[in-house]
Amino acid sequence: MRKSKIIRTTKETDIKVSVVFDGNGKADISTGIGFFDHMLTALSVHSGISMDIKVKGDLYVDGHHTVEDTGIVLGKAFAEALGDKSGIKRYASAYIPMDESLAVTSLDISNRPFLVFNADLKNEKIGEYDACLTEEFFRSFAFNAGITLHINLLYGSNDHHKCEAIYKSVAHALKIATELTEDGKTLSTKGVL
């Protein structure tokens, strides 16, 4: 079974993350930021990847360290659970609507981390979540998981809906890209990722 557990403690955050691929997308999330919990739950449920995420961060400063460091640890857990990434479909794209908003994610689980993030978020905050941290989360996640990740918000007016479309589009692309191929071979002309 593809799974991983990572614990990371710094002066700013204390984070425990467990992921189980090939699971049922069971989410147990607690970061201290309600909207972020909601988005990570959507990421887990819609990807089918079970996630147990417990975070204690310096929220008296702001949410930056909590959100960014969660992306780091979740990315490391993904990388560890996927190992050498052999036998996965590797590439995927997903368009996901959320009411008036539409987001598309295209990704390559390639060991070549990169982020392209195009989303116009108008509000400073969604609840206690700093909207600008959406890009920070996905940058730290992509770079630590070894994923080339392109996120494009095509349109929308409500920032809650925009973020939810983004997280769910990433989730659905991850679900497809991490599926196992029938032959179990590495999808690469080089033979390795």
Mean pLDDT, consecutive 10-residue stretches, the chain (193 aa), reads: 96 98 92 98 98 98 98 98 93 98 98 97 96 98 98 98 98 96 72 65
Reported pTM = 0.95
What are the structure tokens assigned to 48, written together? 């089918």
Q: Is 117 exposed, middle or buried (0-12, 13-18, 19+ CB in 10 A)?
A: middle
Assess if residue 184 is contained within a domain. no
Assess if residue 164 is contained within a domain. yes
CB atoms within 10 A of CB 180: 13
**The domain that contains 130 carries what CATH number?**
3.30.230.40
Question: Which residues, including other chains, have CB under 8 Å from residue 168's CB and lie 6 or more apart?
Answer: 42, 43, 46, 96, 98, 103
**Tell me, what's the pLDDT at 30?**
98
CA distance 156 to 144: 29
Assess if residue 186 is contained within a domain. no
Q: Print the domain residue range for 64.
A: 3-177
**Tell me, what's the pLDDT at 142?**
98
The structural domain count of the chain equals 1
Assess if residue 189 is contained within a domain. no
**Tell me, what's the pLDDT at 38?**
98
Assess if residue 148 is contained within a domain. yes
Assess if residue 152 is contained within a domain. yes
Q: Where are any strands of DSSP class E within the chain?
A: 3-9, 13-20, 27-30, 50-57, 91-98, 101-109, 114-118, 125-126, 129-130, 147-155
Assess if residue 146 is contained within a domain. yes
- Do the strands 114-118 and 147-155 form a parallel or antiparallel pair, or are they unpaired? parallel
